[in-house]
Structure 1
């Protein structure tokens, strides 16, 4: 299953996004009945989001846990790349890169699990 991750707080271009929203000709877009207006509003905002907010798509694997999100996938991929690099070229530098990637994924996984558990607790 593919999932789109909106990176709202990271590399979003808020200045241009808000500028584009303020420059949008809302009077000409929001015409017709309420259903049409909602559709037009949604598609306009979504197209601006696509333009100014980074939104990488990643694939969830069947064995991934429900708390395993975009940051976890990126860290797992980086660890895997570091391991393959070290196996091809077993230098001390590549070993250190793999160790750093392993430490990073461990930290990210702990944080993701904790956030997921905290969210579940808050819902109970």
Structure 2
């Protein structure tokens, strides 16, 4: 956090702050972070999964999942003697619950897109196209200004994406990188 100057910070995960209470407290106090999880996340009564951030409280929403999805399941009828069946069943139940409670999106990339052409680039391109259609339908100064803004936004987004790809290629080509960092970048 001290090395990179970020506009905002979000730290999530299983931090087990009850084990490292002093370090956790220093982290929140020194960097001015707030833990937005104010409910129990473990059966023993602890909150093991914090969401630490310096964002304002109104912009972060943390809520506990409803337990009915798991409580209402007839586990005796669900599980059998076959371990593979049990693992597949439990996995599908967890994924269905996740899809029900967590926001998500499906992004399909066109094979004709450049590797750097990300989801945000696609959104900017769609916005540019929509403003162009409006401009063609009604040639007004307002629509012209909207189209100009959309064009500029797409140009900025594409430039950032190309720079990111170039930077990524340069990092991957360097021989001075630690293997863990190299694999992390490959996965990105």
TM-score scaled by structure 2? Answer: 0.47
CA deviations on 1:26-68 (whole Å, 9 max, x unpaired) are: 9936765543343233322322332233333344334211222
Give the Cα–Cα distance (whole angstroms) in 1 for the partners of residues 140 and 126 of structure 2. Answer: 20
Give the structure 2 partner of residue 80 of structure 1: 129
Give the structure 2 partner of residue 51 of structure 1: 100
Higher relative contact order (CA 8 A, sep 6+): 1
Q: Does 1:24 align with 2:59?
A: no
Change (3 A) 1:69 1:104: same
Using the TM superposition, give the Cα deviation of residue 114 of structure 1 relative to its aligned residue in structure 2, in angstroms. 2.8
Change (3 A) 1:96 1:14: same
Of 84, 89, 103, which aligns to 2:152?
103
RMSD of the alignment, in Å?
Answer: 3.3
Number of equivalenced pairs: 111
Structure 2 unaligned residues grouped into runs of 5+: 1-59, 174-188
Using the TM superposition, give the Cα deviation of residue 86 of structure 1 relative to its aligned residue in structure 2, in angstroms. 0.7
TM-score scaled by structure 1? Answer: 0.65
Give the Cα–Cα distance (whole angstroms) in 2 for the partners of residues 31 and 106 of structure 1. Answer: 56
